[in-house]
Amino acid sequence: MALAINVSSSSSSVISTSSFPSLELKVSAPRIGSLRLSDRVNVSTASLSLSGKQSSSVKPLNVQSVAKESFVPSQAASMVTSEVTEKLDVVEVEDFEELAKSLETASPLEIMDKALEKFGNDIAIAFSGAEDVALIEYAHLTGRPFRVFSLDTGRLNPETYRLFDTVEKHYGIRIEYMFPDAVEVQALVRNKGLFSFYEDGHQECCRIRKVRPLRRALKGLRAWITGQRKDQSPGTRSEIPVVQVDPVFEGLDGGAGSLVKWNPVANVEGNDVWNFLRTMDVPVNTLHAAGYVSIGCEPCTRAVLPGQHEREGRWWWEDAKAKECGLHKGNIKENSNANAAANVNGTSSTVADIFKSENVVSLSRQGIENLMKLGNRKEAWIVVLYAPWCPFCQAMEGSFDELADKLGGSGVKVAKFRADGDQKEFAKRELQLGSFPTILVFPKNSSRPIKYPSEKRDVDSLTSFLNLVR
């Protein structure tokens, strides 16, 4: 008797007011580079992506005239494989927690110089058009080449676009703009209208217009620089280190630990940042003079009243604890009570679902059980066991959706199974779930699924594995 598979489609800087740090910096830490995939010999992804020596020359991209869609270094580091093999046993892995401690009392200028010295052309400043223009000024003061990128969501204030132009002319640079996927924006607006976020929250719109373009940008880098400060949002940013291995996004080498995040002004108060900007006569967004402190997209930003916290002008119609768009979700300080319950149960009902491509099949418990029982399948299946609240699942959402769209009509089914909560024990017992996400391939003529063993979850890596085992 044929077994029916129960499926459902899923559409789917510290600066005082009296003095500024000296430009004579003493930087003694070794430079950090990376090894290409072809150079790896029995070394983990995390250690290779954060260690080694960088031999490529740095090209000052801040004088280029053409913005790039993705961050691809102009010159690749070249290393002789035999030489690498001989030296692998003496390569030291950078301890960024220790580095963060050593820089805890350093000035923003020192931190910026350290970041640019270590990563050269493989690091870029994230510029939002607000007061983090201070980051560009610090980079300029170091005298080193630097890169700047910004996310153009399509819904920024006119004043923000004018600031972009002013900043480019002031520093003689070209900002590398990242744009959202036009098809995704079109689908969102056609299905839900222009202002759906007022009704169902800003996360979906921010994911399309900001998070996914950021993910694409960071996939071409080994490090990035942000303007996060601890005092910006005490509820979500109070524990930001000055440097860290990015807990959410992936860098050029892919996988966990492949991206480093620098926060040079983490320990600086907002008033000190503004004293610095005024002293250095740095161009700023004219909206600041109108009471806008934290500036984002036009529909989701408004001026704050005297005495109000700056983040109260962002997504003002939502609860204060949700004042994040997702770009820095890895730094969010969790509410102990709410998240303790979520950790115990392994689920959270308040997080929106992920993997929404129309080519991703959503499997129920019965559906995946039936799939396991089929010994002679007509099609191969690739299934991700996920939890929508898991940052590593969220980080691979774009690549998995892209894989599904790429394989549409190819004879390979792409599916997801939510394996947290009540399904977690079943998934651990029957589906080889060790941690989220877990990816399984169900070949045509095999009764047992094959577990994807790598932490590299880009489209090419997943496709190569699928071709080898299906």
Quick one: which of 114, 172, 188, 167 has its CA closest to 144? 114
Residue with tokens 């009570």: 337
**Catalytic residue flag (residue 206):** no
Selected catalytic residue, list 205, 206, 325, 390:
390
Say how far apart CA 382 and CA 452 lie, in whole Å.
10
SS3 labels along the chain: CCCCCCEEEECCCCCCCCCCCCCCCCCCCCCCCCCCHHHCCCCCHHHHHCCCCCCCCCCCHHHCCCCCCCCCCCCCCCCCHHHHHHHHHHCCCCCHHHHHHHCCCCCHHHHHHHHHHHHHHHEEEECCCCCCHHHHHHHHHHCCCCCEEEECCCCECHHHHHHHHHHHHHHCCCCEEECCCHHHHHHHHHHHCCCCHHHHCCHHHHHHHHHHHHHHHHCCCCEEECCCCCCCCCCCCCCCCCEEECCCCCCCCCCCCCCEEECCCCCCCHHHHHHHHHHCCCCCCHHHHHCCCCCCEHHHECCCCCCCCHHHHECCCCCHHHCCCCCCHHHCCCCHHHHHHHHHHCCCCCCCCCCCCCCEEEECHHHHHHHHHCCCCCCEEEEEEECCCCHHHHHCHHHHHHHHHHHCCCCEEEEEEECCHHHHHHHHHHCCCCCCCEEEEECCCCCCCEECCCCCCCHHHHHHHHHHHC
**Catalytic residue flag (residue 390):** yes
Selected catalytic residue, list 206, 297, 300, 393:
393
- Catalytic residues, by residue number, are 390, 393
